[in-house]
């Protein structure tokens, strides 16, 4: 994951996982194994915050926005490992 990205709705970002105590990685591995074996993903992993982003400041106001989704860093990490 890239460092310096925006935080998701849970206010966690890539830096929180990157600089965390190694014990957090052990717990995340256990959580991800349980998710994969049980086939159940917590609802909070699917939560995202939609933000409009201006494409070009000089263009047409109506067609000039692009939506980005800010999602929790832990759910992004799950997508990367699977």
* Domain ranges for the chain: 14-81
Instruction: Record the tokens describing residue 4, joined without a space.
Output: 């310096």
What kind and span of H or E run contains 18? helix 14-18
pLDDT tens for 2-50 read 777 777 777 777 788 788 888 988 888 888 888 889 888 888 777 788 8
Helices 73-81 & 22-38 angle (0-180, nearest 10): 60
| 68-to-21, 26, 49 alpha-carbon distances in Å | 30, 31, 8
Predicted pLDDT of residue 45: 77
């Amino acid at each position: 994951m890239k460092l310096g990205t925006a935080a998701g709705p849970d206010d966690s970002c890539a830096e929180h996982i990157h600089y965390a105590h190694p014990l957090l990685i052990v717990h995340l591995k256990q959580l991800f194994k349980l998710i994969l074996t049980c086939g159940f993903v917590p609802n909070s992993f699917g939560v995202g915050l939609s933000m409009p982003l201006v494409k070009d400041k000089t263009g047409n106001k109506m067609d000039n926005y692009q939506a980005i989704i800010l999602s929790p860093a832990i759910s992004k990490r799950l997508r990367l490992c699977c």
